[in-house]
């Protein structure tokens, strides 16, 4: 067993791992803190990677905090070091170089990896997925000369990259297997507006279309053969989903099912000394039917903060933060608050003549507002985040002829008068 001084070991130096150590020290934890981060650079944010073209290695300024943050807080940040195995009986991890490091508490914050593209030709030069800063640089440089870009997958990252490529002057086609874009993530009503907006910008969108193979010339991608015929391509970017990096937990015998299974405190259901946070964790949530795994910055930050506070001994209840998300797709800001699963009523409010680019989609379950999707309407998204966490819940009648912004203001006035 570990000694009491073994401290906290965090595996993964991404958004969630960073949030854990920030909260640990913020809450006064004084024991040893070690972060193993297999990427050889300071922890950084991923969202900017798909929202513009990155061409300079030092340029993006995406680091979460400078190196001094870790030094001043006595956080042992082990960059470029990979954790290869867990020994939960002995409370120790083993690194790729064979070093054994004991822990009192272990936090898995290993994130997710891109699903590979399962078609012949996916290995050709000019075919890329985007997850790391290195990927972003490779794609950004390719975009400076690419004329025909095929984006495989009409998800958030694919659509963001499609807009980046289109703004850079390339001809862009998005190929999506499902019969609509973002089919698991947004309502059909919002998808219709979003698709129309991207098509108006000149992006060609083929839904219900499979990629059959990618063909090259001299090892470089040349065209993509789809169910609707061949598409010329000198750059192919694919984003067809991600899978959690849960293999360490699985090999150590912890419960895993498309993510490390944790309880409402984000502890592994198999071992109370092990927590999992961020993209790699499958957790209960009061707004979900059953366990859920979320891939979002909000979830990574809030889960990391909760676990950091809990280990430090601060008060921390169950994990119940309201899920929210954003995606910037060229001129479109898409925002989602809440979880849309199993909704039984949907109301769509378009912008008026002064704000034609706006849209809000309100989703209700059992007469209760549970999720709000907006396009180019940040104030309504913020109001949704406030009201979705308030009692009484918002009913369809509350919203009749109104917006959440107006409703939130009215409720505040009532509180002030009371």
Ligand X SMILES: Cc1cc2nc3c(=O)[nH]c(=O)nc-3n(C[C@H](O)[C@H](O)[C@H](O)COP(=O)(O)OP(=O)(O)OC[C@H]3O[C@@H](n4cnc5c(N)ncnc54)[C@H](O)[C@@H]3O)c2cc1C
Binding of residue 14 to ligand X (CB under 6 A): yes
Q: Which one of residues 297, 341, 346, 348 is an interface residue with ligand X (CB under 6 A)?
A: 297
Q: How far is the CB of 406 from ligand X (least distance, A)?
A: 27
In the window 373-402, what residues touch ligand X (CB under 6 A)? none
Q: How far is the CB of 53 from ligand X (least distance, A)?
A: 13
Q: How far is the CB of 353 from ligand X (least distance, A)?
A: 30
Query: Strand 220-226 to strand 211-217: parallel, antiparallel, or no bridges (unpaired)?
Result: antiparallel
Binding of residue 327 to ligand X (CB under 6 A): yes
Applying CB under 6 A, which part among 56-64, 105-113, 168-176, 388-396 lies near ligand X? 105-113
Helix axes 297-312, 15-26, angle to 10 degrees: 30
CB-nearer residue toward ligand X: 194 or 349: 194
Query: How many residues touch ligand X (CB under 6 A)?
Result: 36
CB-nearer residue toward ligand X: 6 or 101: 101
Q: Which one of residues 137, 203, 300, 387 is an interface residue with ligand X (CB under 6 A)?
A: 300
Binding of residue 157 to ligand X (CB under 6 A): yes
Q: Could you give the CA distance from residue 374 to residue 336 in angstroms, rounded to a whole number?
A: 6
Helix axes 133-143, 156-167, angle to 10 degrees: 30
Q: Which one of residues 22, 34, 88, 110 is an interface residue with ligand X (CB under 6 A)?
A: 110
- The residue among 118, 123, 371 whose CA lies nearest residue 243 is 118
Applying CB under 6 A, which part among 66-74, 223-231, 291-299, 345-353 lies near ligand X? 291-299
Binding of residue 131 to ligand X (CB under 6 A): yes
Q: Which one of residues 325, 362, 364, 377 is an interface residue with ligand X (CB under 6 A)?
A: 325
For 305-340, give the DSSP string.
HHHHHHHHT-------PPPEEEEEETTEEEEEEE--
- The residue among 192, 189, 185, 187 whose CA lies nearest residue 207 is 192
Cβ contacts of 252 within 8 Å, gap of 6 or more? 85, 86, 87, 88
Q: Which one of residues 129, 248, 311, 363 is an interface residue with ligand X (CB under 6 A)?
A: 248
Binding of residue 296 to ligand X (CB under 6 A): yes
Task: Decide: 376 and 190 in contact? Cβ < 8 Å.
Answer: no
CB-nearer residue toward ligand X: 265 or 326: 326
- The residue among 13, 12, 131 whose CA lies nearest residue 69 is 13
Element (H, E) at 300: helix 297-312
Q: How far is the CB of 57 from ligand X (least distance, A)?
A: 17
For 337-399, give the DSSP string.
EE--TT--EEEEEE--TT-TT-EEEEEEETTEEEEEEEES-HHHHHHHHHHTTSSSPPPHHHH
Per-residue contact track with ligand X, 21 to 60, x per CB under 6 A?
---------------xxxx------xx-xx----------
Summarize the chain as % helix, strand, coil (round to 5).
25, 30, 45
In the chain the first and final C-alpha atoms are separated, in Å, by: 57
Per DSSP, helices labelled H in 156-282 are: 156-167, 188-200, 247-251
Task: Decide: 16 and 278 in contact? Cβ < 8 Å.
Answer: yes
Per-residue contact track with ligand X, 76 to 95, x per CB under 6 A?
------xx------------
Binding of residue 109 to ligand X (CB under 6 A): yes
Binding of residue 338 to ligand X (CB under 6 A): no
CB-nearer residue toward ligand X: 297 or 407: 297
CB-nearer residue toward ligand X: 131 or 386: 131
Could you list the residues that contact ligand X (CB under 6 A)?
A: 11-17, 36-39, 46-47, 49-50, 82-83, 109-111, 130-131, 157, 245, 248, 278-280, 295-298, 300, 325-327
């Amino acid at each position: 067993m570990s000694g009491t001084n073994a401290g906290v070991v965090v595996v993964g130096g991404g958004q969630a791992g960073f949030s854990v150590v920030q909260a640990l020290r913020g809450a006064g934890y004084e024991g040893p803190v070690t972060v193993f981060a297999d990427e050889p650079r300071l922890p950084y944010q991923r969202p900017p990677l798909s929202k513009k073209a990155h061409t300079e290695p030092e340029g993006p300024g995406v680091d979460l905090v400078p190196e001094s943050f870790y030094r001043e807080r006595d956080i042992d940040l082990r960059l470029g070091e990979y954790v290869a195995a867990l020994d939960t009986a002995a409370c120790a991890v083993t690194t790729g170089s064979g070093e054994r490091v004991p822990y009192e508490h272990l936090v898995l914050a290993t994130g997710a990896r891109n699903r590979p593209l399962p078609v012949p030709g996916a290995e050709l030069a000019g075919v890329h997925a985007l997850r790391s800063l290195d990927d972003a640089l490779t794609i950004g440089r390719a975009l400076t000369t690419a004329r025909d870009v095929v984006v495989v997958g009409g998800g958030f990252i694919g659509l963001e990259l499609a807009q980046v490529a289109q703004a850079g002057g390339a001809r862009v086609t998005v190929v999506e297997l499902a019969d609509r874009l973002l089919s698991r993530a947004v309502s059909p009503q919002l998808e219709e507006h979003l698709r129309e907006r991207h098509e108006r910008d000149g992006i060609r969108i083929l839904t219900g279309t499979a990629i059959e193979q990618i063909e090259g010339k001299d090892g470089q991608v040349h065209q993509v053969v789809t169910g609707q015929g061949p598409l010329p391509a000198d750059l192919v970017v694919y984003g067809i989903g991600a899978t959690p990096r849960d293999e360490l937990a699985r090999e150590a015998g912890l419960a895993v099912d498309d993510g490390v299974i944790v309880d409402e405190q984000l502890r592994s259901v198999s071992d109370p000394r092990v927590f999992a946070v961020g993209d790699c964790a499958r957790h209960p949530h009061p707004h979900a039917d059953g366990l859920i795994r979320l891939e979002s910055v909000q979830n990574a930050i809030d889960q990391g903060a909760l676990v950091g506070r809990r280990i430090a001994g601060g008060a921390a209840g169950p994990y119940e933060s309201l899920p929210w998300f954003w995606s910037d797709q060229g001129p479109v800001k898409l925002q989602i608050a809440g979880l849309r699963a199993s909704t039984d009523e949907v109301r769509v409010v378009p912008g008026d003549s002064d704000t034609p680019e706006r849209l809000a989609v309100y989703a209700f379950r059992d007469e209760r507002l549970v999720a709000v999707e907006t396009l180019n309407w940040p104030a309504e998204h913020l109001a949704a985040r406030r009201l979705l966490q308030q009692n009484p819940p918002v009913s369809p009648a509350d919203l009749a002829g109104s917006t959440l912004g107006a409703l939130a203001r009215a409720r505040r006035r009532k509180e002030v008068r009371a």
